[in-house]
Structure 1
Amino acid sequence: MHSTLYNVNKSLPLERTIHKYTSPDAIPIEYQALLLPDAGIYFRQDAECDILSQHLILGPYSVWLHDILAKDNILIRSYTPIPVFTLQFMFEDSLAVPKAGYTLDERECSGFYLFPGQLHRIPMAADKKIFSFHINIQPVLMGELERRFPQLREMMHGVHPKVSARINSRPYHVNAVCDMLIRSVMTCKYTGAAGRYFKERLVTDILLNFANQHMDALQPFLYTSMLNADSYHNLFNYLGDHPHKEHSLAYLAYMYNIPQEEIDLGFRQHFAISIAEYSKMVKMMMVWHLVVNDVSDVRDIVQVTGFDDAGEMRRSLVEWFGYDPFVR
């Protein structure tokens, strides 16, 4: 019989400094399908809850995925032993944080700066299941990322080095681009260097998308963007389905009956990325898949994807992913 009070404490480390991973063979069969290649695993199971945590180290990012099933009313006590910037995404359900006065809502992202030693107490009702996805970045590594991607500076502005605080006053939205990138991380089957660099780039693009949302938070949403919401989502799907094609704004505006002078801004308002940036992203992902999976002749890939030659394509892959997939 479930208790009526949230008095069963369950610790949830949001970061660790010493890693003693669980062997994948020790994970119950019902969780085996969730395991990611090359992820470090932590698992605990008792009468009150199951907690599966998976850890990916991807360049400057420490990525954590937490699957939590509450069998009784529990109180999650999260903590970090070191200061980190973190982006937290909620899937499957939401969690209220009563003492902090906010809710971690499903399909939204909250940004935090977390200072060690400050615990969060989060009640979770019996029979509730959540999945959360965390991107953690240590402050010293954030400085390097800001030099590479200046748009991150505004996102982290005003953080006090010894006070935990929420970064975004309004939750970031897990839009269709973020959803695609997160699912690509979770379904990536590449191992070793190919998997590490591919997923690192995906996480970078997730971070940049939320940086764009942060910068655009006070910009009014165009009425015509809302009016043409279905057209923008159809355009998004079209670009994703045809990553090998070059698209002019004039052609896309005509194709989807959206004013040409509004189409790029409207696309960014829906997806926090420009049409050109999104087109390049999906094109580079497609080229990576073709090269790493070795399913086509290099000359055919060059011809289909519009590069001048194999050398240009290879340089573009190295620049985008930070790794040469031709090196085996």
Structure 2
Amino acid sequence: MQPKQPTTNQEKILWIERDDNNFTSIETLPAEFLSMAFPYAKVYFRQDEDCDTLSQNIKLPGFSIWCHDIFALNDIILAPKTPHQILALHFMVADGIVADIFNRGEFLLGEKEVNLFNLHAAFHTAPVKAGNQICSFHINILPAALPDLIKQYPALQHLSTFEIGMVSGPLNKSPYKISAACKELITAIINCRFIEDQAKFFLRRCCADLYINFACQDRLSGVTNKMSPATKETLKEIFDHLVENVQEVFNIQRLAYLYELQITELNTGFEQLFFITPEAFAHQQKMMTAYRLITTTKERLGAIATETGFDNWHALKKAFEAYYGCTPASIRHAQ
């Protein structure tokens, strides 16, 4: 069976991966869309009587970031298309839609939900009602690149359990809600104003962390969560505490004491709620803060080490290199 080609004026091809350079010059982008443009992205803009579509792509080693903002003026049918097979970690940020996946059938892309899709080169379709705004954010990888990514990021090992076949569709059994930890990373990507190498190293780590978070979420999907509402609220307070206090040396005993939780309850509950351990999340926040300070200020590394809870700049340098794959000095002077 051959993929169906879009045939009507209301059907709009939406490239969700592409290898060409037919991007839109930023100078020709309408003024109302300029503030939405990512500094390091290729921008693809289309405007007609039915919809405005702004697609942005950032190619990184092993990852391809895509963000689509679609404003439907009339009823339309989106026809997402990729030139070759991809795995797409897809986050539905705004209004949900029902997609008709080629050879698979209808699938609800719910608002604030995440799925990992195996997508082949075929037209899939998704109707969008007039007045709806779609914000679709996804990070693509090539299936052949997965073994190397797992080798570089062992926390992705769970992804090797998925059967990546010839039929397009979600690899997870059911959709998941976008976790608070993922929202932090997506916001960091969207708000990133770095270019060239400063963007490449930072964004690549954000992509890896989003995949790692999803892998944990899928791995824990069968675990029964018996947390009380009060415990969930306490864990959310701890989450915020770790975001706002990167200068503190991570100490699970101290956190458990401050928030009156057992250590096991804190560790297990935090991972079940945010799909990352509290220690890993604290480290992630420290690294992101260090990256920002190194690239946007002239502060000495020793001062930045203090501000991010490291004993000295040697300890920060070692952690930074392990996390981002570059040295603080090289990224500070990169453009």
Asked whether 1:307 is paired with 2:310, we answer yes
Residue 148 of structure 1: how far off its partner (Å): 2.2
Letter in 2 for 1:51: T
Give the Cα separation in 1 of the matches to 2:254 and 2:314.
30
- Residues 137 and 304 of structure 1: is their aligned pair in 2 closer, same or farther, counting only changes over 3 Å? same
Is the contact made by 1:156 and 1:167 (CA closer than 8 Å) also made in structure 2?
A: no
- Residues 156 and 78 of structure 1: is their aligned pair in 2 closer, same or farther, counting only changes over 3 Å? farther
Is the contact made by 2:249 and 2:310 (CA closer than 8 Å) also made in structure 1?
A: no
Give the Cα separation in 2 of the matches to 1:78 and 1:246.
46
Give the Cα separation in 1 of the matches to 2:303 and 2:262.
36
Among residues 97, 100, 107, which one is paired with 2:99 in the alignment? 97
Q: Deviations over 1:289-318 (max 9, x none)?
A: 121123422222233434343333222212
Residue 161 of structure 2: SS of its match in structure 1? coil
2:286 is matched with which residue? 283
Among residues 115, 121, 124, which one is paired with 2:120 in the alignment? 115
Point out the more displaced range, 254-263 or 284-293: 254-263
2:175 is matched with which residue? 171
How big is the alpha-carbon RMSD for the aligned residues of Structure 1 and Structure 2?
1.7
Give the Cα separation in 1 of the matches to 2:100 and 2:137.
21
- Residues 153 and 164 of structure 1: is their aligned pair in 2 closer, same or farther, counting only changes over 3 Å? farther
Is the contact made by 2:88 and 2:118 (CA closer than 8 Å) also made in structure 1?
A: yes
Q: What count of residue pairs does the alignment treat as equivalent?
A: 321
Asked whether 1:131 is paired with 2:135, we answer yes
Residue 125 of structure 2: SS of its match in structure 1? strand
Among residues 296, 309, 319, which one is paired with 2:299 in the alignment? 296
Asked whether 1:321 is paired with 2:324, we answer yes
Give the Cα separation in 1 of the matches to 2:257 and 2:318.
34
Is the contact made by 2:50 and 2:74 (CA closer than 8 Å) also made in structure 1?
A: yes
Residue 14 of structure 2: SS of its match in structure 1? strand
Letter in 1 for 2:112: R
Give the Cα separation in 1 of the matches to 2:298 and 2:42.
30
Residue 172 of structure 1: how far off its partner (Å): 2.5
Letter in 2 for 1:114: L
TM-score (norm. length: structure 2) = 0.91
Residue 7 of structure 1: how far off its partner (Å): 6.6
Among residues 68, 87, 101, which one is paired with 2:89 in the alignment? 87
2:214 is matched with which residue? 210
Q: Deviations over 1:77-99 (max 9, x none)?
A: 11111111111111121111256
Give the Cα separation in 1 of the matches to 2:305 and 2:252.
24
Give the Cα separation in 1 of the matches to 2:143 and 2:311.
40
What 5-or-longer segments of structure 1 have no aligned partner?
A: 1-5
Residue 273 of structure 1: how far off its partner (Å): 0.5
Letter in 1 for 2:107: Y
Give the Cα separation in 1 of the matches to 2:222 and 2:269.
15
Residue 156 of structure 1: how far off its partner (Å): 4.5
Point out the more displaced range, 33-42 or 165-174: 165-174
How many percent identity over aligned positions?
Answer: 29
Is the contact made by 2:11 and 2:78 (CA closer than 8 Å) also made in structure 1?
A: yes
Residue 72 of structure 1: how far off its partner (Å): 0.7
What 5-or-longer segments of structure 2 have no aligned partner?
A: 1-7
Give the Cα separation in 2 of the matches to 1:88 and 1:46.
26
Give the Cα separation in 2 of the matches to 1:248 and 1:313.
17
Among residues 147, 155, 166, which one is paired with 2:151 in the alignment? 147
Residue 57 of structure 2: SS of its match in structure 1? strand
2:3 is matched with which residue? none
Is the contact made by 1:14 and 1:64 (CA closer than 8 Å) also made in structure 2?
A: yes
Asked whether 1:20 is paired with 2:22, we answer yes
1:3 is matched with which residue? none
Residue 197 of structure 1: SS of its match in structure 2? helix
Give the Cα separation in 2 of the matches to 1:247 and 1:326.
25
Is the contact made by 2:115 and 2:175 (CA closer than 8 Å) also made in structure 1?
A: yes
Give the Cα separation in 2 of the matches to 1:104 and 1:306.
40
Letter in 1 for 2:321: V
Is the contact made by 2:57 and 2:64 (CA closer than 8 Å) also made in structure 1?
A: yes
Point out the more displaced range, 158-167 or 60-69: 158-167
Is the contact made by 1:155 and 1:215 (CA closer than 8 Å) also made in structure 2?
A: no
Is the contact made by 2:50 and 2:72 (CA closer than 8 Å) also made in structure 1?
A: yes
Asked whether 1:183 is paired with 2:187, we answer yes
Among residues 258, 261, 264, which one is paired with 1:258 in the alignment? 261
TM-score (norm. length: structure 1) = 0.93
Give the Cα separation in 2 of the matches to 1:279 and 1:303.
15
Letter in 1 for 2:174: R
Residue 300 of structure 1: SS of its match in structure 2? helix
Is the contact made by 1:7 and 1:75 (CA closer than 8 Å) also made in structure 2?
A: no
- Residues 153 and 163 of structure 1: is their aligned pair in 2 closer, same or farther, counting only changes over 3 Å? farther
